Amino acid sequence: MKGIVIVAPIFFKIFMAPWVSGITLFPFIILKDKESLNKPDLIQHEQIHIRQQLELLVIFFYLWYIIEYLIKRIKTGSWREAYRNISFEKEAYAHQHDSNYLKNRPFGEHIYWL
C-alpha cells in the first residue's frame, strides 16, 4: 500500500499553511499542486507516513502524532522544532531520498526515532 495520490489545491488553500506541500490522510496522499507530482522526495516522505499509519492502525498514528507534538512543543517552545522532532517526521525526512527504503524498512521503525 503506497497510498492514493490526489492533487487538491482548494483543500490546501482552506486548511493548510502556505508552506505545506503535502499531507497524508490515510489512504490518501494529498498534494498541493500538480508540480508536487514531480517531487519524488515529497511523495516518498508521504509514503513513509502511509506505512507508519498502517502499522498503527491509522487512529493510533494520529493520537501518537498529536501527543508527541504537544510534548515536544512544550519542551522546545517552537512549533517548527517540535514538528521536525516528531519521530514519524524524523524517520520520513531521514529516508525521503531513498526510494528503496520502504522495501527493507523494519516494522515499527519510527520507535527508533523517538
**Residue 4 buriedness (CB in 10 A; 0-12 / 13-18 / 19+):** exposed
Count residues near Zn ion (CB under 5 A). 2
**Part in contact with Zn ion (CB under 5 A); list of ranges 2-10, 12-20, 30-38, 86-94:** 86-94
Task: Return the number of the residue (31 or 92) whose C-beta is nearest Zn ion.
Answer: 92
| 92 forms part of the interface with Zn ion (CB under 5 A) | yes
Give min distance, CB of 17 to Zn ion, in A: 13
Contact 97, 44 (CB under 8 A): yes
Do the beta carbons of residue 64 and residue 89 sit within 8 Å? no
Give the CA angle between residues 67, 19, 85 to the nearest 5°.
Answer: 35
Radius of gyration of the chain (CA): 14
> Least distance to Zn ion from the beta carbon of 45, Å?
5
> Interacting stretch for Zn ion, rule CB under 5 A, among 26-34, 36-44, 55-63, 81-89?
81-89
* Interaction site with Zn ion (CB under 5 A): 89, 92
